[in-house]
Structure 1
Amino acid sequence: MNKYIVFAICGCLFFINGFSQTTNIEELLNEIEQNNIELKGYQSFIESQQLENKSTNNLPDPQLSGFYLPFGDNATGDYTEYQISQSFEFPTVYAARGQWNASKSQQLESGYEKRRQDVLLNAKELLIKLVFLQKQKAIETERRTQSKQVFDQIQELFNKEQVGILDLNKAKIAWIQEQFIVQQIQSDLQIQMSKLKTLNGGKPLASLSALIVLPAEIGTIENLWQEKLTKEPLLQELKANETASFQKVKLEKNKVLPNMALGYNYQGVSGNNYSGFYGGISIPLWSSKNKVKAAEANYEYQQSNTEVITTSLYTQFQETYNQYLLMLEKFNEYQTTMGNLNSEQLLFKAYQLGEYSFMDYYVELQFYRNASDKMLQMEMELQLLQTQLLKHQL
């Protein structure tokens, strides 16, 4: 097989920094974000929860009560009384609860961003695998064509009694194996496209064949980590949890203040009546017991949890980054070594000149093909590692 077909796929494309290529991937991810059923459902859930949270900060319903007492010794006439009143918590409670509701809304938004990242990360990994399956299919299709050519040549030599039946059978098996590999890749492509269609709300994606992998340069670990601290949805969710728990402490402290009620009262007997304003307070001596302490303990837990998870996330991030650098170095060495070789073409010429038997030729050919496949696999794994490192940019 021509060396350009064997090695070009595993070479310079990995380092191309094409704007349109990145845009294609971003456009497809944006389409998936708009169509994904899980994300649409969660947006509806957020809206319902926000409305429910707002309802918890409403005033209680007004109360209207009345008395008409016509029975008994009514020497002075029938007694009539009615009263309308409105109860409410101390005014600062509503402001504190409003801030708590706002922080809970931020929690919901952070939860959505985390789910969105999970969906888009899965989609991007599927797109990367799809691209490399397409590359692999192009390579294996060419190999299948070459295997058929070799089989036809050996069939002709066999007909001339210049080779034995064993060589013919081996050539046929090699051709059959290549056919199976192409079929298997085609099946894998269909599976990947089906998964992407599911993520896209059941709608097929267009322009898949135009995708090319992203550039390899990703920046220093320090810059990436600082960027992740400000953009990573998981860390933003932890901060939102801290803020909500802190606002809960402020709310519980305000709820210790007395509740109040204001209203109007009327009392009348035989044309004589009295009317005026009504007022009252209730002191939450028992209902608020231990609630402030519980809220403070939860706030301390959220702070500790943020610190633990952030430390664990950084350790994992370091491991992935170091793994990426190591694999990138090995890939570059692989590429430099194999890029200057013309092994398959030389092997084929040697076989045609009779310097190799078919079995010797096939064994040597498999060695170089395995090396080429290894390069392609390393390239895909590098892209997947890069996607993990840059997932906060999704």
Structure 2
Amino acid sequence: MKRIIFSIILSFAVLTINAQSGFEQALNSIEANNTTLKALREQANADKIGNKTGLTIANPEVEFGYLWGSPGDTGNRTDLNVTQSFDFPTAYRHKSQLAQGKNRQVDLNYDQQRREVLQEARLLCVKLTYQIKINKLLTERLKYAKELSAGYQTMFDEGDINVLERNKTKLNLLSAEKALQINEVEINTIKSELRRMNGGISIENSLDAYPQFAFPLNFDEWFVNVKENNSLLQLAEQEVVLSRKQEQLTRALNMPKFTAGYASERVLGTVQQGFTIGVSIPLWEGKNTVKHQKAQTIALQMQQEDYKLQFRNKLKNEYEKAYKLSLFLKEYENALSITNNHELLARAFDRGQLSLINYLLEVSVYYETVDKYLETERDYHLAVIELLQWER
């Protein structure tokens, strides 16, 4: 049974992963083929184009008028007016900078959505690895159960044992068969989910072993290095930056606006024409708009600080959880590597030192311990995956 024990190495350094592992190959495939990410990329491109609209000056206006005179000798009048309006000059610079900031925001949004998809895939890969490792155990247990049941059936046919003892081995065999069947259903379900995430293409990479990790020694130092990889934290910071830029734009839009144009009037063969210039007087329309934007910036700053604190606390909890699980896992590993109870129990049973019921009971206790080890191993890697997502 020792060959089923997976060696967990905890060298307290920076969290790393083998780039050539089946995990990484699966994730790279999903990132390339996932239909959700493809749609999000197209939406991001559309949003970027949309952010570049409205940056130029307004369209010019052309007005033409033809007026009939009365009485008839008054003559008809023809008017032509062409005007162009302008915001205060600095507004266009702020609009351009705001558009660039929004495009940065689009990139961060896509990166966060990409991380969420890949994190879902990572968790599925860990669960699939666990089920594959369990499958190997259950296949071996089923083999033992079949051998035991066949042997007791022969003994029953020869009249050496009663029907109750034979039935115990049949029930043990049935239990082993159903456990393996349920496990195979779980494997197929997870593979189906991964295939869905991979754009309908099956993941062919080997996922029968977890990737090798090294655990970070110091949380604070590790957090400093990875916090910049949090797209949501960067989005919160970007929201503040955009709000400040919106303040500047709002202030510029509240400055006087200008119009310039050309006007002409023709009556009874006379022509009057020239240039027109106008300016708006910002008295009432923009009242409280700058004040409102400043208040919005302050609120966003507070939200950013709150999110930063919540993110750190969440990661700290995940770090401590993973660390404690690593200790539990090491204890299981040490215990199972010292003694192979299954082989000892089999020898004792073969020598008649254990009754069938006691053998099955002791074997079930040993199996339960191995199962707990594999569950703890899975939970450890699930916890580490929560930390690992911020490494890239």
Out of 210, 213, 216, which is 1:213 matched to? 210
Deviation at 1:201, TM superposition (A): 2.3
Unaligned runs of 5+ in 1: none
Q: Which residue of 2 aligns with 1:309?
A: 307
Matched, 1:11 2:6: yes
Counterpart position of 1:117: 115
Q: Which moved more, 1:224-233 or 1:375-384?
A: 224-233
Whether the 8 Å contact between 2:148 and 2:169 is mirrored in structure 1 is yes
Please, what TM-score do these two structures have when normalized by structure 1? 0.92
Contact 1:81 1:266 in 2 (8 A): yes
Distance change >3 Å, CA 94–CA 83, structure 1 → 2: same
Q: Which residue of 2 aligns with 1:190?
A: 188
Q: Distance in 1 between matches of 2:74 and 2:82?
A: 25
Question: Matched residue of 1:166: which SS?
Answer: helix
Give the C-alpha shift of residue 211 in structure 1: 5.1
Contact 1:11 1:339 in 2 (8 A): no
Cα deviation for residue 15 of structure 1 reads: 6.8
TM-score by length of 2: 0.93
Aligned equivalents of 1:165 and 1:66: distance in 2? 108
Aligned to 1:107: 105
Aligned-partner Cα distance in 2 for 1:32–1:267: 69
Counterpart residue identity of residue 283, structure 1: I
Would you say 1:278 and 2:273 are equivalent positions?
A: no
% identity of equivalent residues: 26
Counterpart-to-counterpart distance in 2, 1:131 and 1:262: 71
User: In structure 2, do the counterparts of structure 1 residues 21 and 129 end up closer, same or farther at CA, with 3 Å as the change threshold?
Assistant: farther
Q: Which residue of 1 aligns with 2:338?
A: 340
Tell me if the contact between 2:9 and 2:214 (Cα under 8 Å) persists in the aligned partners: no
* 1:1-394 equivalences in 2 (<5 Å): 3-4=1-2, 8-12=3-7, 19=18, 21-22=20-21, 24-73=22-71, 77-207=75-205, 209-210=206-207, 212-219=209-216, 220-394=218-392
> What's the CA shift for 1:347?
0.7
3-state SS in 2 of match to 1:84: strand
**Cα-Cα RMSD:** 2.0
Letter in 2 for 1:121: Q
How many Å separate the matches in 1 of 2:161 and 2:247? Answer: 88
Cα shift readout 1:305-345 (whole Å, capped 9, x = no counterpart): 01111111111111111111111011111111210102111
Instruction: Please tell me whether the aligned partners of residues 329 and 377 of structure 2 are also in contact (alpha carbons under 8 angstroms).
Output: yes
Bigger shift: residues 295-304 or 156-165: 156-165
- Please identify, of 209-218 and 175-184, the stretch whose mean Cα deviation from structure 2 is larger: 209-218
Alpha-carbon shift at residue 210 of structure 1 (Å):
4.7
Amino acid at match of 2:210: V
SS at match of 1:392: coil
Letter in 2 for 1:244: L
Q: Which moved more, 1:263-272 or 1:99-108?
A: 263-272
Residues in 2 aligned to 1:243 and 1:377: alpha-carbon distance in whole angstroms = 45
* CA-CA distance at 1:249 after TM superposition: 1.0
Q: Is the CA contact 2:132–2:208 (under 8 Å) kept in the aligned structure 1?
A: no
1:293 CA displacement? 1.2
Structure 2: distance between partners of 1:181 and 1:370: 13
Unaligned runs of 5+ in 2: none
C-alpha displacement of 1:213:
1.0
Report the CA distance shift for 1:326/1:13 in structure 2 as closer, same or farther (over 3 A): closer
Deviations 1:191-232 (A, max 9, x none): 10111122122222222x355312231323123211222111
Aligned partners of 1:66 and 1:83 also within 8 Å: yes
